[in-house]
Structure 1
Amino acid sequence: MASISSAVAFDDSCVSTPHPQKRREDIEHEEFEWIAMKKRITGLVKRVSISNIRFIADEILKENVISGRGLFCQAIMKSQMGFPQFSNVYAALVAIINSRFPDVGLLLVKRVVAQFKEAYEWGNKKLKRDTLKFLAHLANQTVVYEVLAVDILMLLLGNPSLDNIEVAVNFCIECGSLLQNSVPHIWKEVLGEFRRRKREVEMHVKGLIVKLFAVGRSKFKKYPSVIDELDLVEVEDQVTHVVSLLHDTDPEYSVDNFEVNTEFDDMSSQIMVPCEESEDDEASS
């Protein structure tokens, strides 16, 4: 009996040993694939336009979007800040991806909200204006509920500096059609606030307010929520997120970085390699 316990206790050939060289190669390969995916997603987002948006969305969906959700958010936000005039196109692309992978759309909204909060705290008018242009179209695309737009207007008009009023007017021009139809009572209050502030602001802001009133009277004919070419997600496939300025949101910046996939290593380390029983073991047994 002692020989049996001795054999089991000291037969190291039955236990798997790690393969440092193989593991290192696997890590290098995973990192290479991560970098390649980042380049592909960034390149696709840079190329998106009204004419190719369906193709670009399909190509992005071929990637590991959940694993690369941080990369997608980075690429979208960088491109939108570079070309804010195409915010409606970027928002439409997000809406398509969001309809398939809501976690990706939610993370994007959280990050854009975090960016607006930072711009507001820093008093950066351009960053506020461009970020809100994107948020307006994300609301227009029903990626986020209009309660976020209401929160933003309450914040800006509750602190009516010249910059805040100007940014708020521009924001309303972008998503006023949505607000006019979805929350008409709040929309009337917003217009009333602009009307009261019109006497206090400089001429260029006063001109923007006059423009907003004119656009509103025309039922936002020249500023629709979503143009036909970008109305690409069926109503039953739309996923709309509840995000508010009143709540702290985690932008999860850690997912932007490459991390080693340890799932396989954890499993393999628990596997025992079967050892062949020798004739001496059989005899002692």
Structure 2
Amino acid sequence: MSEHFVQKLFDHTLFQDNTIHGCGLLARSLIQAQLVSPFYTPVYATLVSVINRKFPEIGELILQRLIITFRHTYQRNDKTNSLSAIKFLSHLIDQNVLHDRILLQILILLLENKTNNSVQLAIKLINECEQQLSQPNPRELDLIFTTLRNLLHEASLAKHTQYIIEVLFAE
């Protein structure tokens, strides 16, 4: 084996490792930037859309990490960061990066718990992407609305949460 071959092999292997590591850094940086600045969510979603078109594996990594971020913030009862993650996910549906089924699964998860925070998060998600969810999945969305209608009569929810549900139905 020549020194040139070994150097070329080493550089190629090192480059691959840096690419994999760089993808993780990119995913983490985008998610953290969006959590800190939710105002720029449409810009970040557009950027992820462009990245996803050129490098689908990086787009998938970003989606996986964003869903994991949502799950962690939701489990920690961190409403602010959960709202930011939901906003990012809904904008990724607008950009055709994320499939609407995932958001339906998140809605089902949120409404299984039936706490004030989970119901408010579900309503925020519906407000963000009701149109995108209603076109391909009208039956599933009707079931979710039925669940919310039934929640209006539960005494366990705060008045504010009940009011938010009423506003959703008034629109």
Above 0.5 in TM-score?
Answer: yes
Q: Find the aligned partners of 2:116 and 2:96 in 1 and give their Cα distance.
A: 30
> Which residue pairs with 1:148 in the alignment?
102
> Which residue pairs with 1:196 in the alignment?
150
Q: CA deviation at 1:92?
A: 1.6
Q: Find the aligned partners of 1:205 and 1:88 in 2 and give their Cα distance.
A: 27
> Which residue pairs with 1:107 in the alignment?
61
> Which residue pairs with 1:276 in the alignment?
none
Q: Find the aligned partners of 1:92 and 1:141 in 2 and give their Cα distance.
A: 7
> Which residue pairs with 2:39 in the alignment?
85
Q: CA deviation at 1:186?
A: 0.7
Q: Find the aligned partners of 1:67 and 1:124 in 2 and give their Cα distance.
A: 28
Structure 2 regions of 5+ residues with no counterpart? none
Among candidates 192, 210, 215, match of residue 166 of structure 2: 210
Q: CA deviation at 1:67?
A: 6.4
| Alignment partner of 1:125 is 2:79 | yes
Q: Find the aligned partners of 2:117 and 2:80 in 1 and give their Cα distance.
A: 10
Cα gap change, 1:88/1:206 in structure 2, threshold over 3 Å: closer, same or farther?
farther
Map 1:60-99 → 2, pairs under 5 A: 68-99=22-53
> Which residue pairs with 1:183 in the alignment?
137
* TM-score, normalised by the number of residues in structure 1: 0.51
Q: Find the aligned partners of 2:142 and 2:168 in 1 and give their Cα distance.
A: 13
Cα gap change, 1:67/1:204 in structure 2, threshold over 3 Å: closer, same or farther?
same
Return the structure number with greater relative CO, CA threshold 8 A, min gap 6: 1
SS in 1 for 2:66: helix
Contact 2:69–2:85 at 8 Å: present in 1 too?
yes
Q: CA deviation at 1:166?
A: 0.7
Cα gap change, 1:17/1:194 in structure 2, threshold over 3 Å: closer, same or farther?
closer
> Which residue pairs with 1:42 in the alignment?
none
Q: Find the aligned partners of 2:65 and 2:150 in 1 and give their Cα distance.
A: 33
Return the index of the structure with the highest Cα Rg. 1
Q: Find the aligned partners of 2:96 and 2:76 in 1 and give their Cα distance.
A: 28
SS in 2 for 1:144: coil
Paired residue type of 1:173: N
Contact 2:28–2:65 at 8 Å: present in 1 too?
no
Paired residue type of 1:207: Y
Deviations 1:90-117 (A, max 9, x none): 1121111111111111000000011112
SS in 2 for 1:68: helix
Q: Find the aligned partners of 2:162 and 2:77 in 1 and give their Cα distance.
A: 21
SS in 2 for 1:182: coil
RMSD in angstroms over aligned alpha carbons?
2.6
Cα gap change, 1:95/1:17 in structure 2, threshold over 3 Å: closer, same or farther?
closer
Contact 1:170–1:208 at 8 Å: present in 2 too?
no
How many residue pairs match? The answer is: 161
Paired residue type of 2:140: I
Q: Find the aligned partners of 1:111 and 1:154 in 2 and give their Cα distance.
A: 20
Deviations 1:37-61 (A, max 9, x none): xxxxxxxxxxxxxxxxxxxxxxxxx
